[in-house]
Copies of this chain bind each other. A is one copy, B any other.
Amino acid sequence: MDYTTYFQNHRESHLNELEELLSIPSISALSEHKSDVGKAAEWIADALRRAGMESVEIHPTEGHPIVYAEHLHAPGKPTVLVYGHYDVQPVDPLELWETPPFEPSIRDGKLYARGATDDKGQVFLHIKAVEAILKQEQKLPVNIKFCIEGEEEVTSPNLPGFLKANKEKLAADAVLISDTALLEPGKPAICIGLRGLCSLEVTVGTANTDLHSGTYGGGVSNSLHALVSLLASLHDEQGRVAVAGFYEGVHELTAAMREEFSKQQFNEDKLKADLGLDTLYGEEGYSFVERTGARPTLELNGVYGGFQGEGSKTVIPKEAHAKITCRLVGDQDPQDMLDKIERHLRNHLQPGAKLKIEQLEKARAFSCDSTNPMLQKAADAYEKVYGTRALFTLDGGSIPIVEQLSFVLSAPAVMMGFGLPDENLHAPNEHFNLENFDKGLLTIVEYLKSL
């Protein structure tokens, strides 16, 4: 039977299987979920075995395990390495979820659950595409390897070591990754660039104990005052980052790139309406697509200190905290950036306050060449299924391991995304549009058969 019919016939059982995977709370950032992350690895390995993949193994690491599998029975044909991740982001604030994050629920043609689109749902498409070809044709048109990790949401600390130690085993002509998004429903995109990332945690301390704001107020430093004034100094009034040297290494946009961006016909008014915003906000002189694809950022992801309960509490808190991440582009170096930010913070600290800075993740920006045939054939596959050729785009997010995969394996990264930009990845009510679930399966089959 044709693949459209095959996937229609198996749709219910496929969705049931995916819901089983989405029910596992495999949050890699929270140590209390370590065993759940392990369960998700087992689930992926079992699914690969059921699909007909061979040499399936769960490779333990110092953190969460990596699942490997292969099917190498197409001599003379290219080898494709499918990369993805089965770990997910934390779920707070839990109260904003319409249905619990680990109790998958389908509403209006969308599957709601943490990890639905990022990235369990998209990894699942590759497993089922391979299974479909093997069931229908008893062989695969290419050699295929899977490398599915459990630490992508904590910037893959153990995968680079695994890649280097298993370079031969993982060797491939292309790394196939589905962890990005279409531009909008019906408008497919192949991501050829990702922003880099660096992150840090800042603690401002004042007295050695919390103090009564009546007895001491007005006479001693308040850690929250010191922190907010420090954090406010990181941006100027136009929203540009005020850290000295922040924009070094950024490549200014060429006319050609701006032209490529404009093809997306991105609708800023629709975005505003969708997000309930009166106005977008960012660097002067750039469109939303340019700001998020080609410009660096410094974002506060969390700020906290003092009393957060019901009512009020007259306290001067002894310490206050901030979590910060930067998105990097071009040749910006993550370590250099962290050092510049640290210098800025030390120079702008209020008298009487102490500063503790912890540098966390570091990943460079990534880009690849859209003229490579492995990428061009991906655009063709989209065209056959969606009726529209995929545009080559830059994505504002970071998948730090993509640069590593492409560099270590000397292979292009083919980022065929099947998510949508408004699917709340990393936020409450994450979901996956089932139209792209259906088309994604067909596009992957189409791509593998075209190679």
Contacts and interface: CB of A to CB of B under 8 A. Distances in A.
Interface of A: 29-31, 89-90, 92-93, 96, 154, 181, 195, 197, 199, 201, 206-222, 224-225, 227-229, 231-233, 235, 275-283, 288, 291-292, 295-297, 299-317, 320-321, 323, 325, 327, 350-352, 360-361, 395-398, 421, 424-429
Contacts of A360: 311-312
Contacts of A396: 214-219
B219 A282 contact: yes
A350 B210 CA distance: 31
Given A197-B214, A224-B301, A225-B231, 14 more contacts: A90-B307, A90-B309, A199-B312, A209-B428, A215-B425, A219-B280, A222-B299, A227-B228, A228-B303, A279-B351, A279-B352, A302-B305, A302-B307, A303-B320
Contact of A215 (B208, B225, B395): B395
Given A228-B231, A292-B218, A302 B297 contact: no
Copy count, this protein chain: 2
Contact of A232 (B232, B312, B313): B232
Contact of A302 (B216, B292, B313, B424): B313
Given A232-B228, A352-B277, A311 B218 contact: no
B305 A303 contact: yes
A98 to B, nearest CB: 11
B231 A327 contact: no
A218 B292 CA distance: 6
Nearest to A276: B208
A30 B277 contact: no
A306 B323 contact: yes
B228 A300 contact: yes
B312 A308 contact: no
Contacts of A296: 218
B297 A213 contact: yes
A395 B429 CA distance: 50
24 contacts: A29-B310, A30-B311, A90-B307, A90-B309, A92-B309, A93-B210, A212-B397, A212-B427, A216-B292, A216-B396, A217-B299, A218-B282, A219-B280, A219-B282, A220-B275, A220-B277, A220-B282, A278-B352, A300-B306, A301-B316, A303-B320, A304-B304, A307-B323, A308-B321
Contacts of A315: 301-302, 426-427
Contact of A195 (B214, B304, B317): B214
Contacts of A297: 213, 217-218
